[in-house]
Structure 1
Amino acid sequence: MLIYSVALFALAAVFGLYLISRVLKGALPPWPAALAHGAFAATGLVILLYAAFLTGTPAPMAVLIAAGLLVLAALGGFLMISFHLRGQVPPKPVAVIHALAAVAGFLTLCFGVFAPAAS
């Protein structure tokens, strides 16, 4: 199940790269790309949280840390959507912090999913 989460976050990252390139240029990103990014990321996060906390199988510590980082990234995403809804380009520092949290969470999730278990 975590593989699906990784795949969805990878798709979200592709859209995220486009979105942050627009924000760093000072342009408002288009709604369809923002909605696709959010939909992929939110679905990946729901699957991750379900797999990490509700399946009854203990999750590796890296997966739990990734969940925390990605929840923080989601909060940053909500903040950026609030700017988008007002027709304003999100502040660049907010976009960069959101991206850094998301990348850190994604890489930590990949480590927790794909790294061989310590024996």
Structure 2
Amino acid sequence: MISAAIILFAIAAAGGLILAAHVLRGHFAPWALSVLHALLGAAGLILLILALAQGAASQPVLVGFILLLIAALGGFFLVSFHARKRLPPKAVVIVHALVAVIGFLTLLSVVL
């Protein structure tokens, strides 16, 4: 289950790079890609919740989950800008990405 979550987060991260590139260049991110990015991230979080609920997950999985949950909350904040037709602050995009990458790498350390 953790490996499946890592795969989902990796695919979401690829989309996230495209989204971030748009925003950092001063353009709106494509809405469809934003939704796909969010759905993949949410599916990964659900898989982590299931792994944690089964008690089979280690402490790094919990730490990775918490970091990715924080990143998801940052993602909701970013979506609020898009919904108001405003570009989000570039610093928020960068922090969102960094927290997500650290959470992802924490999870990846469990399977490597």
Length-normalised TM-score, structure 2? 0.96
Out of 54, 60, 65, which is 1:62 matched to? 60
Give the number of the structure whose residues are more often helix, by fraction.
2
1:1-119 equivalences in 2 (<5 Å): 1-52=1-52, 54-57=53-56, 59-112=57-110, 114-115=111-112
Q: Secondary structure at the match of 1:4?
A: helix
Task: Work out the CA distance in 2 between the residues paired with 1:34 and 1:41.
Answer: 11
Unmatched 5+ stretches in structure 2: none
Q: Which has the larger radius of gyration?
A: 1
Task: Work out the CA distance in 1 between the residues paired with 2:10 and 2:19.
Answer: 14
Task: Work out the CA distance in 2 between the residues paired with 1:83 and 1:49.
Answer: 28
CA RMSD of aligned residues (A): 0.8
Unmatched 5+ stretches in structure 1: none
Letter in 1 for 2:20: I
Task: Work out the CA distance in 1 between the residues paired with 2:2 and 2:41.
Answer: 13
Work out the number of aligned pairs and report it: 112
Q: Deviations over 1:25-57 (max 9, x none)?
A: 0111010110110110111011112212x1133
Runs of 4+ in 1 over 3 A off after TM superposition: none
Percent sequence identity is 45
